[in-house]
Structure 1
Amino acid sequence: MVDMNLEVNIIPVSDVDRSKQFYADLGWRFDEDAAPADGVRIVQFTPPGSGCSVTFGQGITAARTGSLQGALIVSDIEEAHNELVARGVEASDVWHGAPFPAEVRLKGPDPERTSYGSFFSFADPDGNTWMVQEVTTRLPGRI
């Protein structure tokens, strides 16, 4: 089978400049801000260490603002949480156990720091939600 690399996720936003500032404040790499046609603006950022970028702007998606539910993988959940909070992000507390539904979440990181077992979440100004998950050892077949 031909490799299929996920390289861009499109985020629906209501205020392009506000979103641009938010993702810059996260410390994500700014890649582009282009207006290739009337009524079209494309802004792209890439999270540190990621092969996948996010794109938002004007005239690029009909998705409802705030409808994105994305996931980020980190090697240290507490370090990532502390870094985002220090950058002014309103993040949930760290939890472990199942990520869904919220009622089954257990407080704090996984006591054994099991890979795929600890999480927190945050949202951008439009309510697009990012779940952050700790992965220290990949399952077989995963990069």
Structure 2
Amino acid sequence: MDYKFEVAVIPVSDIDRAIHFYKALGWRFDAEFADDEGYRLVQFTPPGSPASIIFGSGVTDAEPGSTEGLHLIVEDVVAAREDLVGRGVEVSEVFHDKTGVFHHAGTTARVAGTDPQRTSYGSYASFSDPDGNGWVLQEVTTRLPGRV
């Protein structure tokens, strides 16, 4: 049985502001649906991604800005960071974790710069949407076995 991750729901306080932000990132605007009872759903997909995000009113009870650790996999974290900065996004400096494994929560154990060996899965940068939902760019150049 395959279980394919399709969508993440993120909580936002201002739907139109979120639409503007994700459009400015260059993400594909997939859908918008609203009804007369205040339900509104918006869907975006990052370039090259099979998974999307959904936000709106009536789609989650989570507090706006409470989602953390949404990972965007990129081939070159430095270039991806520069692209986002060029789009007006405030992005952290590139970092790696002191353990050389997965990054710690928040800014704990961050070491400035790319992973010294530039190992796959080892370099990051982070940013947030206008509500504070946290995104992480993670550089992956060679996938682990079994990954596509």
- AA aligned to 1:96 is H
Secondary structure, aligned partner of 1:60: coil
Q: After TM superposition, which residue ranges in structure 1, 4 or more long, deviate above 2 angstroms? A: none
Distance 2:62 2:108 in 1: 28
TM-score by structure 1 length? Answer: 0.95
Secondary structure, aligned partner of 1:85: helix
Aligned to 1:131: 136
Q: Shift in Å at residue 37 of structure 1?
A: 5.0
Instruction: Give me the identity figure in percent.
Output: 56
Distance 1:49 1:9 in 2: 16
Q: Which runs of 5+ in 1 are unaligned?
A: none
Q: 1:37 to 1:4 in 2, by over 3 A?
A: farther
- Alignment of 1:78 onto 2:75: no
Distance 1:44 1:87 in 2: 20
Q: Which runs of 5+ in 2 are unaligned?
A: none
Matched length: 142
- AA aligned to 2:103 is P
Distance 1:88 1:59 in 2: 29
- AA aligned to 1:118 is S
Instruction: Name which of structure 1's ranges 98-107 and 41-50 shifts more when overlaid on structure 2.
Output: 98-107
- AA aligned to 1:7 is E
RMSD of Structure 2 on Structure 1 (CA):
1.1
TM-score by structure 2 length? Answer: 0.92
